[in-house]
Amino acid sequence: MQKFILPIVVLGAAAFLLIRRTAFAKNLNFVIRGVKVAGRLLAPRIEITIGLQNPSNQRANFRSMSGLVKWDGSEFANISSFNAITIAPNSETQIKLNAEPSVMGVFEAVKKVIKEGLKGRIEIVGTANVDNLQVPFNITKTL
């Protein structure tokens, strides 16, 4: 009976750490801090600044993110970042992303920006790799 106690304690501790780490990664907040139009008429891009907020007392290792940008509900572009960043405890770190419109979205986007300016609702849906855990996110901002 005693030979089973050590493996049970080790498995219990590992399960506790995994559950705690998963809950920690899901507590990160993703916030759109800025949106700016850049590029040329035939090759526009939107520069999006995202704030990663870490409200915990532990540092977080942000490894990558990818997602889809929607503008007023229509798919517009893809974003990605594969630069590893350490987010300090109780702080916010900003990441700048370039959203380059897809072939189908570029003409509608240019037409809309020329007519109305950069107004509307921008939504980013995707997944981030934080501490080797996949964390889904969905952030929205009305411009």
- Structure confidence at residue 7 (pLDDT): 67
Angle of CA points 124, 64, 57, to nearest 5°: 95
- Structure confidence at residue 102 (pLDDT): 66
CATH code of the domain occupying 2-142? 2.60.40.10
Residues 96 and 48 sit within 8 Å (Cβ to Cβ): yes
User: Where are the chain's structural domains?
Assistant: 2-142
- Structure confidence at residue 2 (pLDDT): 65
- Structure confidence at residue 10 (pLDDT): 66
For residue 126, give the nearest of 111, 139, 143 by alpha carbon.
139
Say which DSSP state 120 is in.
S
Give the dihedral sign, CA 62/91/59/31. negative
pTM of the predicted structure, to 2 decimals: 0.73
For 47-74, the pLDDT digits (tens) are: 899 999 988 888 888 899 999 988 877 7
Tens-binned pLDDT, residue by residue, of the chain (143 aa) = 567 676 666 666 666 555 555 555 567 889 999 888 777 766 667 789 999 998 888 888 889 999 998 887 778 788 999 999 998 988 999 999 888 776 665 666 666 666 776 677 889 999 999 888 888 999 998 87
Instruction: Classify burial at 124, counting beta carbons within 10 Å of its beta carbon; exposed 0-12, middle 13-18, buried 19 or more.
Output: buried
